[in-house]
Amino acid sequence: MNSSFIKNVFIIITIATALFVISLEGIRFIHIINNFAVKVSKFVSPLTYEKRYLFSERSYKLDNYDSNDPALKFYEHHSIRGWTTKKNLKIFVEGHSYTTNNIGERSLVNYKKDDSKYEVLVLGDSMTFGEGISDEFVWTNIVKKKNKNINIINLAVPGYGIDQMYLVLKETIKIYKPDLVILAFVKDDFARTMLSFREARKPYFEIKQEELVLTNTPIKEPDEVYRELIEKNENKPFYKKLKIYNLFTALFNSSTYRVGEENRFYVQNTCNAKCLRHNKKIFLESFNISKKNNADFIALYIPGDKKDRTEKKYASYVDRFLEEMKEEFGMEYLNLRPYFFGKHGFVSRGHYKIKGLNLIAETVNKQILLGKTK
């Protein structure tokens, strides 16, 4: 056996050993990175929407009274809008009272048509529903106390986008025949319009030949959706099941506008040209359907971002959007930004405290409702 052969064998063994060690270290490194990704995801999740449908009970059981998520206690499935609030509910969550009446609105009294009062139909999301606050501090309930000439129907539902608010309007305007429709929204609601999945599956509007076309409905019951998603998740390639893959997708690849994706990620307050076009069409249809039913229409923008509430020279896409809608179509709006400058900020879970809700109520009453009578 010559020295050259021994040398070659030694080199091969050395290389093989090195490759084996590297592969083991690589596996260990992936494991470390994956664990790190899990920890970072928990930190990132409040700022981005995770693939949470399969990993939490929030969207799976919309009627789960045992959930730690307070929103689930007042949700129920809706075949067109995805979810809605339960009727005749009286519960306490984290020390706050949540009461809904005979039509499912956040109110301490049952709805009854009063022809002597100026009736206002309010559409909105969790800010207007009053998530995280007791019944008496919901801003629409504060207005009712201040202005006895007004009857407000608050049909806001947590998690709704502009599209779902429009669907509520279509379903209810002929029933309640309001004098005024207020569509109250935060900036986030624009991006929600572009999703086909959020708290649960939700409707999605396509625009075909300049007409809104509703898709993704009827929406299946949550249990059936859950089974479908479990099966879909099990059939994924192994690398897509890694936490590091989920983390990098959430951080670097916004799929906010991927219609049909069951698991959606969200980069806060983004709205591209397609998103603006969709929301413009939906706002316009809401405005027009109100007029056709002899109701005035006002868009109410509730600021959330720190910039919106502190920087007077800052102008977001919402500011420009509302101005353009008024110039082009005559759609009235109230932008609450100037009233919040240097005043009340956000609290945990992104909702105003009592002072902020009082400010909304006072401003809406003074700027929109004061003097309104039958």
Please name which of 219, 224, 261 lies closest in space to residue 60, comparing C-alpha atoms: 224
* Strand segments (E) across 110-250: 118-123, 150-154, 180-185, 204-208, 211-215
What local confidence, expressed as pLDDT, does residue 244 receive?
A: 61
What number is the average pLDDT over the span 143-153? 94
Amino acid at 47: L
Domain 70-369 bears CATH identifier 3.40.50.1110: yes
Specify the 3-state DSSP secondary structure of 341: coil
What local confidence, expressed as pLDDT, does residue 323 receive?
A: 96
Taking each continuous run of H as one helix and of E as one strand, the counts in the chain are: 12, 11
Residue 21 has pLDDT above 80, yes or no: no
Residues 232-254: tens digit of each pLDDT: 767 777 666 666 666 555 555 44
What local confidence, expressed as pLDDT, does residue 263 receive?
A: 37
What local confidence, expressed as pLDDT, does residue 265 receive?
A: 39
CA distance 205 to 213: 5
Listed ranges 55-64, 69-78, 362-371; the one with the highest mean pLDDT: 362-371
Report which of residues 114 and 223 the model is more confident about.
114
Report the DSSP pairing between strands 150-154 and 180-185: unpaired
Rounded alpha-carbon distances, angstroms, from residue 212 to 130, 198, 283: 30, 20, 11
Residues 91-131: tens digit of each pLDDT: 888 888 999 999 999 999 999 999 999 999 999 999 999 98
Domain spans, the chain: 1-44, 70-369
Residue 34 has pLDDT above 50, yes or no: yes
Rounded alpha-carbon distances, angstroms, from residue 226 to 7, 62, 220: 60, 11, 10
What is the C-alpha radius of gyration for the chain, rounded to an integer number of angstroms? 25
Q: What is the largest CA-CA distance in the chain?
A: 110
Residues 184-198: tens digit of each pLDDT: 999 989 989 988 877
Where does the pLDDT of residue 44 fall: very low under 50, low under 70, confident under 90, or very high at 90 and above?
Answer: very low
Where does the pLDDT of residue 48 fall: very low under 50, low under 70, confident under 90, or very high at 90 and above?
Answer: very low
Phi, psi for 143 (deg, rounded to 5) = -60, -40
354-364 and 139-146 helices cross at what angle (nearest 10)? Answer: 50
What pTM was computed for the model?
Answer: 0.79
Phi, psi for 13 (deg, rounded to 5) = -65, -40
Where does the pLDDT of residue 3 fall: very low under 50, low under 70, confident under 90, or very high at 90 and above?
Answer: low
Residue 315 has pLDDT above 90, yes or no: no
Query: Could you tell me what percentage of the chain is helix, strand and coil, using 3-state DSSP and rounding each to the nearest 5?
Result: 45, 15, 40
